[in-house]
């Protein structure tokens, strides 16, 4: 089933525009993801809410595809489990440049809590996957991630 999430209010959108999610990676350092709600309001909101609720704490990046993406956010460390229910795709015209953060899916409108971070420019993903953020600090941490790397904690910072 699809999530019955409403578009965030104007006040919430204003907060999201000024928000970053910081992933504290065990033994590696921090990844700072600036949210881009103008590209995907509902999914940026969901990502921030899950981070604030502690959903990502202790989860891993279970998929590392060199010269492609890293993927994480599954409680079972696989591609098939995430926070349900599914969310709708929010496809924009934004390019999947290195460092953009998107919603991992298993087909149309099957997004859950799983995220991916582009390791290179992946323009073949354009118009197929939701982008809701971009890494603004810590790409060296992203590049160092190996399969099984643990997200110690995630927090939301509003500037």
Instruction: Please provide the size of the chain in residues.
Output: 159
CA angle in degrees (0–180, nearest 5) for 27-156-36: 110
Residue 14 confidence (pLDDT):
79
CA distances, 83 to each of 34, 90, 114, 141, 157 (Å): 21, 17, 8, 25, 22
pLDDT along the chain (159 residues), means of 10: 65 84 98 95 92 95 96 70 67 94 74 87 93 98 98 95
Would residue 3 count as lying in a domain? Answer: no
Residue 2 confidence (pLDDT):
54
10 Å CB burial of residue 74 (0-12, 13-18, 19+) is buried
Give the structural domain span for 93. 10-158
Q: What is the largest CA-CA distance in the chain?
A: 39
Would residue 117 count as lying in a domain? Answer: yes
Would residue 27 count as lying in a domain? Answer: yes
Q: What is the pTM of this model?
A: 0.89
Would residue 4 count as lying in a domain? Answer: no
Residue 152 confidence (pLDDT):
98
Residue 13 confidence (pLDDT):
77
């Amino acid at each position: 089933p699809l999530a019955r999430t409403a578009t965030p209010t104007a006040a919430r959108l204003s907060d999201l525009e000024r928000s970053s999610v910081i992933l504290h990676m065990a033994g590696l350092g921090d990844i700072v993801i600036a949210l881009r709600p103008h590209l995907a309001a509902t999914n940026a909101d969901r990502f921030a809410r899950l981070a604030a609720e502690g959903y990502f704490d202790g989860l891993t990046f279970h998929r590392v595809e060199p010269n492609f993406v890293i993927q994480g956010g599954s409680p079972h460390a696989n591609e098939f489990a995430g926070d349900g229910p599914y969310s709708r795709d929010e496809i924009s015209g934004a390019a999947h440049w290195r460092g953009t953060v998107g919603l991992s899916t298993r087909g149309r409108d099957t997004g859950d809590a799983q995220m991916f971070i582009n390791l290179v420019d992946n323009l073949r993903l354009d118009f197929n996957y939701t982008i809701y953020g971009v890494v603004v600090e810590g790409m060296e941490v992203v590049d160092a991630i190996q399969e099984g790397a643990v997200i110690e904690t995630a927090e939301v910072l509003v500037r």
